[in-house]
Amino acid sequence: MQPTATVLVYSDNSNTREQVRLAAGRRPAPDVPVVEFVECATQAAVLRELDQGGIDVCVLDGEAVPMGGMGLCRQIKDEVFNCPPVLVLIGRPQDAWLATWSRADAAVTLPVDPGEFAGALASLLRQKRLLSA
């Protein structure tokens, strides 16, 4: 059986969540595990999933409402013990400084570019694997 990685995807927009799933595919790179997705549309759902554990990487939509992914990223980095790496989706390249403020581990712009997104996600999955080894 192949190892799997669990990726939490937060956005109030189901189309954005779908873009993330399609961009990542089953395996974002040959050297990382197959990914399974947990989708969340609310801040409360994200916090509940993180409390349960088992999340390897979070993908948070910086444009989500009412709670944006950057604010949520900063919150979980402060509140979740051993917080998984976070990839934030930003609306404009100029918003990269906000991703830094939020303490995100990586950021890519919307709409999701499959190559850029898969590369960033694979990098975080590798980082997670190295940290837990």
Pairing of strands 57-61, 86-90: parallel
| Calpha distance 102→81 (Å, rounded) | 16
| Burial bucket for residue 40 (CB in 10 Å: 0-12, 13-18, 19+) | buried
Instruction: Reply yes or no on whether the pLDDT at 70 is more than 90.
Output: yes
Amino acid at residue number 90: I
Read off the pTM. Answer: 0.95
For the chain, how many structural domains are there in total? 1
Instruction: Reply yes or no on whether the pLDDT at 131 is more than 90.
Output: no
- The parent domain of residue 102 ranges over 4-132
Give per-residue pLDDT as tens, 78-130.
999 999 999 999 999 999 999 999 999 999 999 999 999 999 999 999 987 76
Pairing of strands 106-109, 86-90: parallel
Q: What is the CATH number of the domain that holds 56?
A: 3.40.50.2300
